[in-house]
Amino acid sequence: MEFFFDLMNSFLPHFKTVFLAIVALGFLIFIHEFGHFWAAKRCGIKVNTFSIGFGPKIVGIQRDETEYKISLLPFGGYVQMEGENPSEQTGAAGEFASASVGSRAFVIAAGPAVNLLFGVLVYGAVFATGLDRKAADLISGFTGMPLGEKEAVQMGAVADNGPGAAGGLMPGDILVSVNGDPIRHWSTVQREVIISANKTLKFVVDRDGERQTLFVKPNAISTVRGDLGEIRVRSGDETVVNHIRKGSPAAEAGLQVGDVIESINGERLYNVPYFGYGVWHPTANWIDEKYKALYNNINQNREALVLGIRRADETRTLVIPVEWRVIASVQEGSIAEDAGIQNGDVLLTFNWGTINETTLHSQLTAANQPIEIGLMREGNLEQVTLSGETESSETDPEHIMFGLMWQASFSGIQLDRKTAPLPEYNLFTGFGKGVEATWLTFTAIGNTLQKLAGGDMSPKLLAGPIGIVHLTSESSRHGLSSVLVFIGFISINLAIVNLLPIPIADGGQLLFCAVEKIRGKPMPRKAQEIVHQVSVVLLIGFFLYVTWFDGISVIHGIRN
């Protein structure tokens, strides 16, 4: 199955994106409506129509009393039962309104219940068959809980002139809570910051064993969806050595794979050092400026770089000389890839001169074509030629020239973020974990809706069908497990949204059933008709509102 998924990724990227998202969303709608359909049949209620999609019929078939059809607009669906609409009720047997209150409540609740159950099954299946890092990060983002070992959430880099620094946040702070919500995963911080462009955040942090309360007012960043909050900080992580080049200065000094680098020249590390192409880009941001400063620190005494490392429970200091290498990475289908440059190649010369990682971006932008690149691959020297591209960073600041990217590594060391090993589950523990993750997702979505209702979050940030298609396509880039996790998340969302006490939603209908049970009789038919009609108008208006912002966001992304 993974093979066919990868095959579709390779040959049909654009078609696959839309097709996969529509099929996934259509399936979730199908199982929701099937829940209503199955429950109605069980209760002896006549079902006139089972439709996937809204609008004009594309294809359909009649079986007994029910017409099964697929309609033009795939973002929705419905089961139309006899006498469901108040204006069509006659009191005859087999009508929805003629069934008992318990039967009607059972039919109404069956749709969201199936979506919730499907979310449990999908989460459980991903846990049981083996998590990858991207899927684990998605689940942690949705639930606000880390998987595996519970580690403290630490503050990493903080912009010197940003809102985080102004509020007193410092690298190394252990984050305890934000606005009273416990912080167990960095996604909680991200979510609160984004929705808080106009109010002040209350952080509780642990600094050197003492609790402190800090107040941070995010900057308001204007986007097509309105103002989003930003405090210009990064989550903290430990820097681990994941590869050492044989015969390099680091290898000769005794550095080992798995060593944690805690400091460079006495400067404490709170994030993994990065010296890639973006650091030297004209539009480099505040975190890139931090990396530039560290790069300059390393070069202050290239004969004696001092590394503070931790190996198991032991700390030690190593002194090594600095030797830079420029490691290439290329975009798929780019000019650089067509020219023969491969990921991992060591770039040596530029138009017969020595490569300089700090000026390579400007050299690519300004050089006359063709451009000659000398590189080393597995000890062999090769020469490639780049030509054919005319755009420059002056006309398009975000443009990656020729699809060529690079990262400079020092002294034969490759660094990465230290991550805890992912837990492994069997069939039973995996589905148990799926139940837990579903509940945590359920509560996280509930908290978001509470903020929405309280005015703490703008409805412009919600995603409709177009947004779901876009996000599904984004998750597909990370593999099958990530797609399944996202589909499970959307299914749980559908269950919750349908249970809201909105008259036209399942939750609203359940509320009417409860009122009828208490009163001993249904609401007057005229009142039901008015509520139904008003709800339809409001729902259509809200759908168009969310879809509008989805659309302009996607268009904005394509244009940029």
3-state secondary structure of 72: strand
Distance separating alpha carbons of residues 387 and 341, to the nearest angstrom: 13
| Helices and strands (DSSP H and E) totals, the chain | 15, 22
Distance separating alpha carbons of residues 309 and 241, to the nearest angstrom: 10
Mean pLDDT of 110-137: 91
Q: With a cut of 80, say whether residue 473 has pLDDT above it.
A: no
Tell me what percent of the residues of the chain surpass a pLDDT of 70.
Answer: 89
User: Which numeric CATH code is attached to 155-235?
Assistant: 2.30.42.10
Mean pLDDT of 145-160: 86
pLDDT for 187-232, tens place per residue? 899 989 988 887 899 999 999 999 999 999 999 888 777 788 999 9
3-state secondary structure of 556: helix
3-state secondary structure of 148: coil
Q: With a cut of 70, say whether residue 83 has pLDDT above it.
A: yes
- Which pLDDT band holds residue 548 (cuts at 50, 70, 90)? confident
Tell me what percent of the residues of the chain surpass a pLDDT of 90.
Answer: 38
Taking residue 263's Cβ as centre, other Cβ atoms within 10 Å add up to 16
Distance separating alpha carbons of residues 134 and 481, to the nearest angstrom: 8
Q: With a cut of 70, say whether residue 6 has pLDDT above it.
A: no
pLDDT for 333-382, tens place per residue? 889 999 999 999 999 999 988 888 888 888 888 878 889 999 999 889 99
Distance separating alpha carbons of residues 487 and 27, to the nearest angstrom: 10
Taking residue 240's Cβ as centre, other Cβ atoms within 10 Å add up to 18
With a CB cutoff of 8 Å and minimum separation 6, the contacts of 28 are 115, 118, 487, 490, 491, 494
Determine contact, residues 438/489, Cβ cutoff 8 Å. no
* Long-range own/partner contacts, residues 372-381 (CB < 8 A, 24 or more apart): 373/339, 373/341, 373/347, 373/349, 374/347, 374/348, 374/349, 374/350, 375/328, 375/341, 375/345, 375/346, 375/347, 375/348, 376/345, 376/346, 376/348, 377/342, 377/344, 377/345, 377/346, 381/348
Tokens found for residue 184: 């167990």
The pLDDT of residue 15: 61
The pLDDT of residue 173: 96
- Which pLDDT band holds residue 86 (cuts at 50, 70, 90)? low
Q: With a cut of 80, say whether residue 240 has pLDDT above it.
A: yes
pLDDT for 17-37, tens place per residue? 667 777 777 888 889 989 999
The pLDDT of residue 397: 43
pLDDT for 90-104, tens place per residue? 777 888 888 888 999
CB-count exposure of residue 11 (10 Å: 0-12, 13-18, 19+): exposed
557 vs 14, higher pLDDT: 557
Distance separating alpha carbons of residues 105 and 45, to the nearest angstrom: 13
Which residue's structure tokens are 């006549």?
Answer: 46
* Best CA proximity match to 175, nearest among 142, 148, 151: 151
Determine contact, residues 83/54, Cβ cutoff 8 Å. no
Distance separating alpha carbons of residues 257 and 427, to the nearest angstrom: 34
Prediction pTM value: 0.78
The pLDDT of residue 543: 74
Residues in the chain, overall count? 560
For 241-305, give the secondary structure using H, E and C: EEEECCCCHHHHHCCCCCCEEEEECCEECCCCCCCEHHHHCCCCCHHHHHHHHHHHHHHCCCCCE
pLDDT for 415-455, tens place per residue? 999 888 888 889 889 999 999 999 999 888 888 888 777 77
Strands 181-182 and 174-178: antiparallel
The whole-chain average pLDDT of the chain stands at 84
240-417: CATH, from 3.40.47.10, 2.30.42.10, 3.30.1330.10, 3.30.479.10: 2.30.42.10
The pLDDT of residue 395: 41
413 phi-psi bin (left φ>0, alpha ψ -120 to 50, beta other)? beta
Same topology, domains 155-235 and 240-417? Answer is: yes
In the chain, the N- to C-terminal Cα span, in Å, equals 34
Give the domain ranges of the chain: 2-128+470-559, 155-235, 240-417
Distance separating alpha carbons of residues 398 and 221, to the nearest angstrom: 19
The pLDDT of residue 392: 44
* Phi, psi torsion values for 340, nearest 5 degrees: 110, 5
